[in-house]
Amino acid sequence: MMPALRPRNLACVSTDSRLERGTASEQLAAEYLQARGLVVLARNMRCRAGELDLVCLDGAVLAIVEVRQRARIDFGGALASVTWRKQRKLIRATQFFLQRQAAWRRRLMRFDVLAVEGVPHGVHRIVWIKDAFRPT
């Protein structure tokens, strides 16, 4: 007798598949923001403190954009995944970025979160929260 088919558990999805979805989500986010007038200055800036997904210029404001993707909205979805710990890592990575990019230090700055809920290459919804959190 054959076992019953179960719905696919996302926790069992391969790392490669998650990485592909993450890359596709960041590309989708960059295109979404560019269509709304932002200029993407940098992508996937990595340092010891963490990673910045997108660094954009929105007029005169430097926008640090964290891109989150979740196929399902269980447990609050993509937006809820930006915890205070994640915020702290983003702030530290931004400080590192600004130490090396002196031209951007005097700009007004904000932290945005862009959530891709669903599958980037399929049915999805984008939620962009400008000024989602502030350093304390």
Indicate whether 9 belongs to any domain.
Answer: no
pTM: 0.80
Report the pLDDT value the prediction gives residue 108, as an integer from 0 to 100: 95
Indicate whether 10 belongs to any domain.
Answer: no
CA 128 to CA 113: how far, in whole Å?
A: 6
How far is Cα of residue 6 from the mean position of the Cα atoms in its chain? 30
* Contact by Cβ (8 Å): 107, 61: yes
CA 96 to CA 98: how far, in whole Å?
A: 6
- State both tokens at 72: 């399902």
Specify the number of domains making up the chain: 1
Nearest to 116 by CA among 29, 56, 45: 29
* Contact by Cβ (8 Å): 68, 82: yes
- State both tokens at 79: 């937006």
Indicate whether 3 belongs to any domain.
Answer: no
Burial of 24 (0-12, 13-18, 19+ CB in 10 A): middle
Report the pLDDT value the prediction gives residue 101, as an integer from 0 to 100: 87
Residues of the chain falling short of pLDDT 70: 1-16, 71-79, 119-121
Whichever domain contains 54, its CATH number is: 3.40.1350.10
CA 47 to CA 82: how far, in whole Å?
A: 19
Report the pLDDT value the prediction gives residue 8, as an integer from 0 to 100: 38
Indicate whether 31 belongs to any domain.
Answer: yes
Segments forming the whole domain that contains residue 24: 15-133
The CA angle 91-54-24, to the nearest 5 degrees, is 130
Structure confidence by residue, pLDDT tens digits, 22-60:
788 899 999 999 999 999 999 999 988 889 999 999 999
Indicate whether 99 belongs to any domain.
Answer: yes
